[in-house]
Structure 1
Amino acid sequence: MVASLLTPNEAAVVAGVTLRDVNRVIDERILPDRFYSVADGRRVHLAACPLVGFYFRAARALTAEERLTLIGRFSERITASLLAHPFEGWADADWRVDDDFLSVSLSPFVADADTRGARLAAARARVIEDPAILGGAPVIKGTRVPVHDLAASVAVGLSRERILAAYPGLDDETLDLAVLYAEAHPARGRPRRLSVVPAEARPAVDRMVVRRRRA
């Protein structure tokens, strides 16, 4: 489990919740202590992601007290399963728990986290950070295409066709993985200017401005 520690942003992507939700399960101690660490920056175990997803996405069906009780039961099952077979076949296991009159299954949340985790791993494999390439900014492996530029282009509504036309070496799958990687690893500092300009963009001012020198 130590090898499966995720940053809060990564955990949010795998659990299918917001970053605020991930921080909340730590701050409010919703998760058992063994599923996260705050010793050297916040980290969340991959195994906790189904529990995080369950707590927030089952809120309409179950009370907070019921969800906390079930998380305690589910966490025991997860710990025992991972000690025996770390993540091997965990998406196909029976994760149903009976609690008095309730019968609740964690299986949909485990399967979802397993799928999202695999996609995140695929995104990591498609991206490289090399100090010799754009100062270490994340780029698509084998190119100089910045990952966060691709994600920003999607975020502002540029069509996939226009983005892929601007980067002929990329395909739909790579674009999807770039967006996922950027979500799990947000850029720091001031956003870069987009290298893809919308077709409808027009100059706001068509004149030269002379910069005044300070006295």
Structure 2
Amino acid sequence: MPPCPLSVVAVPIATRVALRDVNRVIDEGILPAAFLSAENGRRVWATACTLISFYYESAGQLTSEERLNMIRWAEPRLSKWKTLTLASLAKKDWTMRHDFLTIDLAPFVERTAESLSNLEAARALVSSSPDVLGGTPVIEGTRIPVYDVAASVAAGHSLDEILEAYPALDERRVGLAKVYADANPLRGRPKPVNELPTGATVITDRRVPRRRKAV
């Protein structure tokens, strides 16, 4: 299945680059506009994740101009094939030769393909239904909230501790839960509860004005 544009918050999963740096290559025009989409928020074509990864990971070996030249060289190729899967792209020749400099983009294409495969697996792992915990995203086939598992990982709990708390899981599912939560971060504050708990009774709805301190 051809890769679709990724929400910018999911790009760090594919590139292993911090979100602030992903936004930087977009804002500064380092990433060509052909790989961007404003539909449903800021989005990046999956194939372009290879260029973001390359730009930052090669910073210690290549100058900024050399990295930009590589991106310009790769742009028409990735634009032409941006609807292909990265697994297919990895089989093509990604070697640029310029004077004495030779750069191979293939390792970045392969790693991006692997990361996106994990992201796809993470999305397939999670389900949501109004009949299960009121629609809370859970790990498929269980009633385990995916964000609870991811929070345990983020809190530094060991894998053994997490598996003891959630016997229905295994190491792979725990890892994919973290991938899913990173790509789909929770936003906003919990909604206020407008309904009273069962059995509660309103004694009075009179509001008492707050006293102002004397000046």
Question: Which TM bucket (shorter chain)?
Answer: 0.7 to 0.9
Structure-2 separation of matches of 1:157 and 1:181 = 17
- Give the letter for the 2:59 counterpart: A
**Alignment partner of 1:142 is 2:141:** yes
- Map of 2:185 onto structure 1: 186
Structure-2 separation of matches of 1:161 and 1:87 = 34
- Map of 1:67 onto structure 2: 67
**Alignment partner of 1:43 is 2:43:** yes
- Map of 1:196 onto structure 2: none
- Give the letter for the 1:118 counterpart: S
Give TM-score scaled by structure 1 length.
0.82
- Map of 2:20 onto structure 1: 20
Gaps of 5+ in 1: 192-213
Residue 72 of structure 1 aligns to a residue whose secondary structure is helix
Decide which moves more: 88-97 or 7-16: 88-97
- Map of 1:203 onto structure 2: none
Deviation at 1:29, TM superposition (A): 1.0
Asked if the contact 1:6/1:44 (under 8 Å) is kept, the reply is yes
Give TM-score scaled by structure 2 length.
0.82
- Map of 2:34 onto structure 1: 34
Change (3 A) 1:144 1:7: same
**Alignment partner of 1:111 is 2:130:** no
Change (3 A) 1:45 1:170: same
Structure-1 separation of matches of 2:173 and 2:87 = 27
Structure-1 separation of matches of 2:169 and 2:87 = 32
- Map of 1:129 onto structure 2: 128
Matches within 5 A, 1:75-94: 75-82=75-82, 85-87=84-86, 89-94=88-93
Asked if the contact 2:49/2:112 (under 8 Å) is kept, the reply is yes
Structure-2 separation of matches of 1:43 and 1:94 = 27
Structure-1 separation of matches of 2:87 and 2:169 = 32
Asked if the contact 1:2/1:45 (under 8 Å) is kept, the reply is no
Change (3 A) 1:3 1:117: closer
Asked if the contact 1:12/1:22 (under 8 Å) is kept, the reply is yes
Percentage of matched positions with identical amino acids: 47
Deviation at 1:137, TM superposition (A): 2.9
Cα deviation digits, residues 45-74 of structure 1 (max 9, x gap)? 001000000011111111112111110101
Asked if the contact 2:87/2:113 (under 8 Å) is kept, the reply is no
Asked if the contact 1:119/1:177 (under 8 Å) is kept, the reply is yes
RMSD: 2.1
Deviation at 1:2, TM superposition (A): 8.4
Deviation at 1:92, TM superposition (A): 2.4
Structure-1 separation of matches of 2:148 and 2:44 = 28
Deviation at 1:170, TM superposition (A): 0.9
- Map of 1:176 onto structure 2: 175
Structure-1 separation of matches of 2:70 and 2:3 = 26
Structure-2 separation of matches of 1:2 and 1:94 = 19
Residue 167 of structure 2 aligns to a residue whose secondary structure is coil
For the pair shown, the structure with the greater C-alpha radius of gyration is: 2
